[in-house]
Amino acid sequence: MRALALTDSGPRLISGYAWPTPQPGEARLRVRLAGICATDLALVAGYKGGYRGVLGHEFVADVEAAPGHDEWVGKRVVGEINIGCGECSLCRRGLHKHCRRRASVGILRHDGALADALLLPVANLHEVPPTVPDEAAVFTEPLAAALEILEQVQVRPDLRVVVVGDGRLGQLIAQVLALTGCDLTVLGRHPGKLRLLAEAKAGTPRLSTPEVLDELAAAPADLVVEATGAAGGFATARRLVRPAGTLVLKSTFAGGLPDFDVSGLVVDEITLVGSRCGPFGPALRLLESGRVRVEPLIQARFPLDEAEAALAFAATKGVLKVVVQP
């Protein structure tokens, strides 16, 4: 089969990659559509210290085979990306995504979805509602990541909230937080992306200028979400959160954070919340409801044969979602 794999010499489209064979409890999925996200780009840059395998963890697919679980065959699905060992203390407590021996689709010890097919445990599958098109379903994983914030932090209508970042994930986070009725400001550097936020009625989009930052810092927010994907975004987010406020970190940085001021966080009693994968069921229901607008975020579609070009285009500054179709 065809697969975009991260090799020692970089990402390469391999036309003769071995077709995966499902074992009992696994399903082979034929990919309908896959998305490229910032984590894929970070892996190429060296994040996670040397992953080698097929990239991609955002996808919608058809179940082609599932030994012992024929009821899944033919269903259109999305899949949770973390695969725990099922035996350790964390897995026994339901914390599979934090299992120290876990695999993660397209990220850690498990081939991903930028391919004709992939394997996934049947337990990780979620059927896509028939009214949700592929172009929306492919956003299930990042939308779930946005919804995870609401699982971790209570967001009330009386809170002042700032999202720093108007990119792929920032757009989804803003739409999700706007549903809470909070006083939401979204900071970005791209007028076109800010227009998308305005059209989605996702808070008050503002261009990130020194004057705007000074204004917001003068009345800091209760909750700030950092979603820029850039190390400099942390400093901006830190500046905009009030003492005893909460700072949610969504970005993963290949090179770490320079000038990380732990003392300032302690003195100001800032609550730091790392936030990663989230609930797929609520994400699918939200897509089904039509209360979020995700399809306008797709900026380009490439065939799988042009997956290398798709990855390069996705890395272009300012580009939103790029999808790949086998």
Percent of the chain having pLDDT more than 90? Answer: 89
Q: Is the pLDDT higher at 148 or at 258?
A: 148
Residue 274 pLDDT > 70, yes or no?
Answer: yes
Average pLDDT over residues 26-40: 96
Residue 253 pLDDT > 80, yes or no?
Answer: no
Question: pLDDT category, 259, cuts 50, 70, 90?
Answer: confident
Closest of 206, 150, 152, 159 to residue 181, by C-alpha = 159
pLDDT of residue 307: 98
**Average pLDDT value for the chain:** 95
Residue 193 pLDDT > 70, yes or no?
Answer: yes
Stretch among 21-35, 91-105, 228-242, 264-278 having the lowest mean pLDDT: 228-242
pLDDT of residue 254: 59
pLDDT of residue 258: 72
Question: pLDDT category, 230, cuts 50, 70, 90?
Answer: confident
Residue 51 pLDDT > 80, yes or no?
Answer: yes
pTM, two decimals, is: 0.94
Average pLDDT over residues 208-233: 93
pLDDT of residue 255: 63
pLDDT of residue 308: 97
For residue range 136-150, what is the model confidence (pLDDT) as tens digits?
999 999 999 999 999
Residue 204 pLDDT > 70, yes or no?
Answer: yes
pLDDT of residue 48: 67
Domains and CATH numbers, the chain: 3-139+294-325 (3.90.180.10), 143-274 (3.40.50.720)
Average pLDDT over residues 82-99: 94
